């Protein structure tokens, strides 16, 4: 019996390893900033020679740290590469490195950091568009996803492009992102709760209701502030913009990462329903797991003062 069980374990391990081995990674330089190359990694199933949709990922780290190939993201990349996507993980400039904690009365460094990251995301997108034939990608199905600072970046990228803001000097008016996936993100606005001149891409929000680093609700003074997933989802609902909002009850900034590891099928279903099938759904899910312990409850002041 034990020999049979051991043989089955070995068999399935070999099958899984062989399947994973079909995913190949290539690295490309998409821009250069102040003499420093910005690179992106592309993960593809080498057995698939057809044109594929793109899932582009922007890493987290408070705009002060992080890497595109961080260990906690790799299963996310593999999962979607195995499910028919060209997965792209990009570099961007870290505008809050060595800066003090951002806040309402210290918001210029944050604005600059978001601007740098969005510009680099646009440059990476432009690289994909210009090399679409060689890379075998469908530029009408570029979906952007991000964690924490990366989630802020992808929300801003779609928001600024849909509003034709002056920051958007790279992408053409004829291009639009097909979907946005935000793991604990927000939008910084000087005009109150963000609104869109053109309807935004279908958006998937994940956010912990106890997040102290990226606001779940909002931190604002008059019209100036950071608007988190809760008010953004409310705005989407009022305007009939398709969205799906997972409100992770009593969880902190852990939501920047653990849905990436635990909710991959739900993310895939969102893409199929909202992006591919264009279902005009507006769904709020209050998700509570009594067994899920919140491990990351640090404030922004604590995080940016860490060595």
| CATH placement of domain 24-305 | 3.40.50.1820
Indicate the domain borders of the chain.
24-305
Please write the tens of the pLDDT for every residue from 2-19: 444 444 444 444 434 433
Please write the tens of the pLDDT for every residue from 101-127: 777 677 889 999 999 999 999 999 999
> CB-based contacts of 261: which residues, under 8 Å, 6+ apart?
72, 75, 76
Kindly list the strands in the beta sheet with 243-248, ordered across the sheet, starting from the edge strand earlier in the chain.
Answer: 23-33, 36-45, 86-90, 52-58, 137-147, 179-183, 203-208, 243-248, 282-287
Please write the tens of the pLDDT for every residue from 143-195: 999 999 999 999 999 999 999 998 888 999 899 999 999 999 999 999 999 99
Contact by Cβ (8 Å): 124, 56: yes
pLDDT value at position 47? 85
CA 249/CA 252 separation, integer angstroms: 9
CA 117/CA 191 separation, integer angstroms: 21
pLDDT value at position 307? 52
CA 44/CA 23 separation, integer angstroms: 5
């Amino acid at each position: 019996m034990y020999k049979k069980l051991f043989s089955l374990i070995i068999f399935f391990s070999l099958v899984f390893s062989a399947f994973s081995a079909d995913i190949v990674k290539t690295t490309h330089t998409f821009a250069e900033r102040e003499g420093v190359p910005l690179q992106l990694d592309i993960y593809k199933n080498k057995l698939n020679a057809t044109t594929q949709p793109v899932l582009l990922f922007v890493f987290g780290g408070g705009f002060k740290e992080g890497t595109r190939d961080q260990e906690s993201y790799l299963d996310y990349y593999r999962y979607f590469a195995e499910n028919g996507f060209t997965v792209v993980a990009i570099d961007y400039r870290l505008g809050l490195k060595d800066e003090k904690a951002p806040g309402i009365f210290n918001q210029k460094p944050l604005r600059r950091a978001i601007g740098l990251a969005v510009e680099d995301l646009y440059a990476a997108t432009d690289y994909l568009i210009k090399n679409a034939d060689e890379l075998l990608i469908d530029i009408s199905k570029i979906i952007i996803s991000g964690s924490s600072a990366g989630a802020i970046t992808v929300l801003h990228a779609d928001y600024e492009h849909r509003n034709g803001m002056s920051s958007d000097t790279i992408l053409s008016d004829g291009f639009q992102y097909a979907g946005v996936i935000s793991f604990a993100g927000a939008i910084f606005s000087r005009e109150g709760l963000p609104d869109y001149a053109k309807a935004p891409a279908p958006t998937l929000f994940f956010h912990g209701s106890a997040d102290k680093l990226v606001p779940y609700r909002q931190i604002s003074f008059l019209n100036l502030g950071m608007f988190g997933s809760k008010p953004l989802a409310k705005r989407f609902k009022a305007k009939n913009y398709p969205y799906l909002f997972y409100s992770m009850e009593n969880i902190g900034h852990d939501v920047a990462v653990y849905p990436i590891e635990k909710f991959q099928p739900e993310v895939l279903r969102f893409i199929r329903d909202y992006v591919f099938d264009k279902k005009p759904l507006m769904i709020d899910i209050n998700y509570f797991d009594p067994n899920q312990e919140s491990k990351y409850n640090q404030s922004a002041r604590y995080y940016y003062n860490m060595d």
